[in-house]
Amino acid sequence: MSDVLRRLLRTPQGALGLAILAILVAVCLLGPLVAPVDPEKIDFLGRFNPPGGKFWLGADQLGRDMLSRILVGARTTLPIALAATLLGTLSGAVIGTVSAYLGGRWDEAIMRTIDAVMAVPGLLLALLIVNTLGKGSLNAMLAIAVAFAPGMARVTRSVALTVRQQDYVSAAIARGEGSGWIVFREMLPNVIAPVVIETTIRVAFAVMLFATLSFLGLGAQPPAPEWGLMISEARGYLHQAPWLIVGPGIAIALTAIGFNLLGDGLRDALNPRDER
């Protein structure tokens, strides 16, 4: 594990991504402690205050401090994006493994159905599901998980099938290793790596998808300090107070960039062929 971390830190993407995400996690854990003021505190005299002075990143239409709202907003976005991705990955991994295990006609039927479901664009599927379940953060999380499951099923299945046929697995069998050794020491590390990489990059998608659903009014509900919702509320004031859009936009982009960089870094660090 420490070996992977060392290799991860040696890649520029991995080091940068890890640094961004470490700050983000710290902000999530400390939350209101690092926020200068209460994110819900309304201050009518401070309405539309530009960045600077008392309000580092400006104040919104109700005079609420943008910096505090953005910092506290991380606590909504990050757990939901992580939970949605994990749920989608787990269910996808189960479907993919079962499909690979059954094989033959069943495998064919399951995979063709998954291909068909993937013909529905992710945002469209999430939009339809959350619309049926009702708006709200939890339902948005479930919708993102459902939208992710088919893609993850496909990744897990193809990885599981390829790994099973690798020479090093045949070699282990020929050496007379026990099945426990083969599954845990030979197959699992090689199955986990691509799934972990895919999952990490998916978190970035989940962050963006959740923000988009909130922007469309289907995710987090007011007065929650959620980044997508904040941009949606600020749309009416984009001429007089563009900082209301720039701040949360940068927060979303930084979070997504963090996970994308970490995913790329992990791809380099976990790639068993690349031992430089």
Partner 1 sequence: MSPRWFARRCLLIGYTLLIVSLLVFAITQALPADAAVMLLGENATPDALAAVRVKLGLNDPVWQQYWHWLSALLHGEFGISMRTGQPVGPAMLLALSRSLLLAACSLALMLALAVPLGIVAALRRGGPADIGASIVSYLGVSLPEFVTATLLLILLADRLQWLPATGYVPLSENFTDGLRHLALPVLTVSLILIAHVSRMVRSEMVDVLHSDYVRAARLKGLSGAAVLFRHALRNALMPVITIVALDVGYLLGGIIVVEEIFALPGIGRQLIVAIETRDLPAIQASALIMAATYAVANFLADVAYAFLDRRIRYE
Taking CB under 8 A as the rule, does residue 249 contact partner 1? yes
Compute the distance between CA of residue 147 and CA of residue 99 in angstroms, rounded to an integer: 18
Cβ–Cβ contacts within 10 Å for residue 94, how many? 14
Per the CB < 8 A criterion, the answer to whether 100 and 191 are in contact is no
Cβ–Cβ contacts within 10 Å for residue 140, how many? 30
- Cβ proximity to partner 1, 127 vs 163, nearer residue: 127
Q: How far is the CB of 130 from partner 1 (least distance, A)?
A: 10
Which parts of 194-213 interact with partner 1 (CB under 8 A)? 204, 208-209, 211-212
- Cβ proximity to partner 1, 189 vs 222, nearer residue: 222
Taking CB under 8 A as the rule, does residue 242 contact partner 1? yes
Report residue 34 CA to chain centroid gap: 23
- Up-side HSE of residue 106: CA atoms within 13 Å toward CB? 9
Amino acid at 14: G
Q: How far is the CB of 203 from partner 1 (least distance, A)?
A: 12
Give the Å distances, CA to CA, from 43 to 39, 64, 96, 271. Answer: 11, 6, 53, 53
- Cβ proximity to partner 1, 100 vs 231, nearer residue: 231
Q: How far is the CB of 132 from partner 1 (least distance, A)?
A: 5
Cα torsion for 208, 211, 215, 217, to the nearest 10°? 130
Which position among 175, 239, 273, 276 is part of the footprint of partner 1 (CB under 8 A)? Answer: 239
Per the CB < 8 A criterion, the answer to whether 144 and 126 are in contact is yes
- Cβ proximity to partner 1, 54 vs 235, nearer residue: 235
Taking CB under 8 A as the rule, does residue 270 contact partner 1? no
Q: How far is the CB of 192 from partner 1 (least distance, A)?
A: 24
Which parts of 108-167 interact with partner 1 (CB under 8 A)? 112-113, 115-124, 127-129, 131-132, 134
Compute the distance between CA of residue 225 and CA of residue 219 in angstroms, rounded to an integer: 12
Q: How far is the CB of 77 from partner 1 (least distance, A)?
A: 12
Closest CA to 151 of 223, 202, 83: 202
Task: List residues binding partner 1 (CB under 8 A).
Answer: 112-113, 115-124, 127-129, 131-132, 134, 204, 208-209, 211-212, 215-216, 228, 231-232, 235, 238-239, 242, 245-246, 249, 252-254, 256-257, 260-261
